[in-house]
Chain A
Amino acid sequence: MSTDRINTPDLKTPSEPFEVTTMTAEQIKDELTRQYPSKVKRKRDKQILLNEKIEEADGTLTLPVINANTRTSPGIITQRGCSYAGCKGVIMGPTRDIVNITHGPIGCGFYSWLTRRNQTKPPTDEHDNFMPYSFSTDMHDENIIFGGEKKLKAAIQEAYDLFHPKAIAVFATCPVGLIGDDVHQVCREMKRELSDCNVFAFSCEGYKGVSQSAGHHIANNGVFQHMVGNQKTEPEGKFKINLLGEYNIGGDAFVLEDMFERCGITLLSTFSGNSTVEQFEQSHWAQLNCVMCHRSINYVADMIEKKYGAPWIKVNFIGAKATAKSLRKIAEFFDDAELTARVEKVIEEEYPAVRKAQEEILPRTEGKRAMLFVGGSRAHSYQELFAEIGMKTIAAGYEFAHRDDYEGRKVLPDIKIDADSRNIEELSVEKDEEHFREPQTNADIEELKKGDFFQNYQGMMADMGEKAMIIDDVSHHEAEKLIEMCQPDIFCAGIKEKYAVQKLGVPCKQLHSYDYGGPYAGFQGAIQFYQDIDRMVNSKVKDMIKAPWE
């Protein structure tokens, strides 16, 4: 490296065992599942565990085994949504110039209308932006009885006539799968007919898989099959990357786009925050793929590598230190003096404000305790931000993760594929002889490969404290008990949990919608997060809950 590095101090408090004054973690765990019928209890016992790590002499970690990505027991009040929500809402939602038509009764299309805060910034008035619209075939009983293919076809035609979009995507809802409408065939026909509009469909019926995760996989397969690789000429740019698994909640992508530009890195596409069809179509020209949310998108990174050759690295732009580390990792891949200098300059420019904010806030937040039960990535990545203001994460879990998100990718060969996952198509990808390129870098690629540089994700448990509590697919009942017993200073979850948690007098930070705040990505985002958490854990309202006469 040619430039001096700015020191990015580690404010992380040392890992401490989970403890509450009156109960041991084991007792708490027992308490959480005591009331369940025996069958449910047996299942939950494998999904709730203490993070008891065994470090071998050579430094490798052995982590406890968690049961993840399995069905939620019927009757359990769960955080989870469905495959359609993962496909239409999470992955396809943030792309501005696709007309997304929900094929089904009105509800699914209505509920996924703008509720995920998919921000976007079309460069001019002339550019398409369909995000504020909700399109549906609004199926009625006669469509269920006689089939909805004709109506779907007509709806695609009407959408085309009205909006002339570059692409139309169709999402199958539960009843569509049952009655057997062939959405893919309809789309193929319409694509032929419309000729200048890419039309494709997703079989993302809500009953597929066990959570939103199935929908992410289905969506990514579709993006890969129908869009990636369509742009045949190489875009400009010396250091070209894609950012995968970034969904631009609260404007996160805007912050990152700006940051890359200042570093001289060309961001070809974001999958799928503030994204466009053109971005997807040119994404195979990237030299490096950077994966944010491992859960939702690791498949795409793997498929691009196999077909087009660009390797992928895990990054995290949540947290100032994580952001600096991730930027440096990208620079290390390209190993270019000028790029490294620019990256270091950006870190140097941004870090003083971060330090100032940390110093100011730390005395008010240090030692406070957080619990995070969200998503497939945020439950991990946001722990970095809490650590930066001295807050400990004493319990965490994912809503829709798989074992590798907890235990790291090394468990991938051990994961048993069950019936619910087998139904999600695995694409067989082959090398594209024409467009495949060996990794383009000045770095010693073999040397990088030897380390843990590429394709590496350690999982959440490796980063969490000893005996912290890990709970997959936490239920309402468990969350409520956990809060009552452990009294965290903040609980992170989603809208369905928020008000129940707050009734207990504990602030609840929504990490799916950011409570309509943010951005939290990058350096400026980190500062924003510190300030928001400081406000929440030190808010005066908690001292007002009891009336003076109570």
Chain B
Amino acid sequence: MALLRHTTDDVIERQALTVNPAKTCQPIGAMYAALGIHRCLPHSHGSQGCCSYHRSTLSRHYKEPAMAATSSFTEGSSVFGGQANLLQAINTIFSVYDPDVIAVHTTCLSETIGDDIPQIAETANNKGLIPEGKKIIHANTPSYVGAHTTGFANMTKAMVDYFATSTTEEKVEGQINLIPGWVEPADMREMKRIVKMMGLEGITFPDTSDVLDAPLRAEYKMYPDGGTTVEQLAATGDSSGTIALGPVCSGPAAEALKAKCQVPEDTLPLPIGLRATDIFVQHLRKYNGGEVPEAITAERGRLVDMVSDMSQYFYGKTVALWGDPDQLVSLTQFLVDLDMRPKYIITGTPGKVFLRRIAEVLGEEDVKKVVVKQGPQADMFYMHQLIKREKVDLLIGNTYGKYISRDEDIPLIRHGFPIIDRVGHQYFPTCGYRGAIRLCEKILDAFLDRQDRDSPEESFELTM
């Protein structure tokens, strides 16, 4: 029996109904980004349910506490505005949870009412509700604009708007800013490792490593050891340059920093796969005199070795992909480099740039053979219909693909957000050369397990 029994291959154009979305809403991205500031409590300005849903989804994905407060709007606040709620919340939060920063993001409710967060924060300040040295920052994240990635970008940009300061004309040599984009804590740790190996001092923001992968030590830290400190965020204005990974999630913050503190920026693809990591390392060379340590070149070589050794299993395999634009562009590039064939590429996140970038990655000729869809009705229901019309060898995307995987008997590699039915993604990076090796391993495991399962007894192979 089919789990998605109502999905047929007959594609009817839809204008209004989204079925099985390949995106979610802004505030959850803002919440995740804010957790990457040290001693910061994210605050959801709206109804309780938004905060509850976002915390639950983040917890299910990271298997970690995701702490955030809410303005707990009721009908009254929806009519009269949420100022009283936010003022009370600020007072309560500083008394009870003592964060260094409260990062307020709005919801569709408070946006529709038109609550002005900076004005409310100023009122809180005038009323003496903000203790000395403590900060309130904010991002506008109406759920009816953009997607979860936009919310992440907006809160990351807010870190620049509120904290970055330029203290000298001269920029600090060897100090760069790294904006990692929406990736796993392990990816952030891996990117920092590469920066360090390149001999650079990096300020990474936001940084959820050591926040959303905290160890079990029989003690609970409301604010775990990780996260970018306010001092570091301030110092970003003095860095020699910014490397922003992923234009959707990291671009706006890098541009804001350039405008505010004249820090030059490069917005690069997320370093997933060989070429995107090459681009990352190449840009780091700008700041360290051009040296690439042998250890990094060796890591790269091991990746190339694995790709070369196992080429026969990658060649020509077709893939359906869905998720966030920054992830999809780099993943597509990597698959193409592995001689695989991305066939359906779907993101619910609006934004036309995505289509152009995917076209660049696929090349003028090949892009015509691929269905790329973004924005309204670019959902997993549509992707499933395409798969029913013409099957693929592999699915790459979040947990929600498991229903298609089972119905169509196609292996699924979990990548992106959210992954709520497997572990490992928090701990093992897919970024950088080492991450790419892991991605290859996962792809190979899927294909080789499949071959073992399907091959007749006489051709069941011991070595592969």
Contacts and interface: CB of A to CB of B under 8 A. Distances in A.
B145 A140 contact: yes
Interface stretch (A74-82, A337-345, A366-374): A74-82
Nearest to B28: A107
Interface centre among A107, A210, A420, A498 (most CB of B within 10 A): A107
B59 A498 contact: yes
Nearest to A174: B109
A211 B52 CA distance: 11
B400 interface: yes
Given A498-B59, A545-B218, A178 B113 contact: yes
A179 B52 contact: no
A439 interface: no
Interface string B166-186: 000000000000000000000
Contacts of A209: 74
B72 A495 contact: no
Contacts of B123: none
Contacts of A108: 25, 49, 53
A178 B60 CA distance: 31
A211 B47 CA distance: 10
Contacts of A545: 216-218
Interface stretch (A128-136, A314-322, A444-452, A529-537): A128-136
B19 A107 contact: no
Interface stretch (B3-11, B266-274, B281-289, B447-455): B3-11
A494 B216 CA distance: 19
A385 B376 CA distance: 48
A484 B213 CA distance: 22
A139 interface: yes
Contacts of B86: 74
Given A80-B52, A179-B112, A73 B88 contact: yes
A39 B109 CA distance: 26
Q: Which of B67, B144, B222 has the most CB atoms of chain A within a 10 A radius of its CB?
A: B144
A155 interface: yes
B403 interface: yes
Contacts of A155: 16-17
Size category, B interface: 35 or more
A143 B144 contact: yes
Interface string B59-90: 11001111111111111111000000110111
Q: Which of B27, B54, B112 has the most CB of A within 10 A?
A: B112
A108 B14 CA distance: 20
B63 A499 contact: yes
B3 A132 contact: yes
Contacts of B88: 39, 73-75
Contacts of B64: 499
Interface in A49-79: 71-79
Interface string B96-117: 1100000000011101110000
B339 to A, nearest CB: 34
Contacts of A130: 6
Residue among A35, A108, A503, A505 facing the most chain B CB atoms (10 A cut-off) = A503
B96 A477 contact: yes
A96 to B, nearest CB: 11
A503 B219 contact: yes
B1 A125 contact: yes
Interface string B19-37: 1110111111000000000
Interface residues of A, number: 93
A76 B17 contact: no
A174 B78 contact: yes
A76 B72 CA distance: 9
Contacts of A151: 16
Interface in A7-35: 35
Contact of B108 (A129, A174, A496, A498): A174
Interface string A137-170: 1111101100000011111011101110000000
Interface string B403-423: 100000000000000001000
A168 B405 CA distance: 27
B78 A132 contact: no
Nearest to B56: A495
B142 A158 contact: no
A499 B381 contact: no
B292 interface: no
Contact of A175 (B15, B23, B55, B109): B109
A502 interface: yes
A207 B47 CA distance: 5
A47 interface: no
Contacts of A178: 78, 109, 112-113
A208 interface: yes
Contact of A206 (B47, B90, B147): B47
A133 B18 CA distance: 10
Contacts of A84: 49
Contacts of A141: 142, 144-145
Contacts of A85: 49, 52-53
A32 B217 CA distance: 23
A531 B196 CA distance: 49
A233 interface: no
B361 interface: no
A109 B3 CA distance: 19
A125 B48 contact: no
10 contacts: A37-B91, A73-B72, A77-B70, A111-B56, A133-B20, A141-B142, A175-B108, A207-B73, A420-B75, A496-B52
Q: Which 4 A-B pairs have the closest CB atoms?
A: A82-B49, A107-B25, A75-B89, A75-B92
Interface of B: 1-6, 12, 14-21, 23-28, 43, 46-50, 52-57, 59-60, 63-78, 85-86, 88-93, 95-97, 107-109, 111-113, 142-145, 147, 214, 216-222, 348, 376, 381, 400, 403, 420
Interface of A: 35-37, 39-40, 71-85, 101, 104-115, 122, 125, 128-130, 132-141, 143-144, 151-155, 157-159, 161-163, 173-175, 177-179, 205-211, 419-420, 423, 476-477, 480, 494-496, 498-505, 545-546
Given A109-B21, A134-B20, A141-B144, 4 more contacts: A155-B17, A162-B17, A496-B55, A499-B64
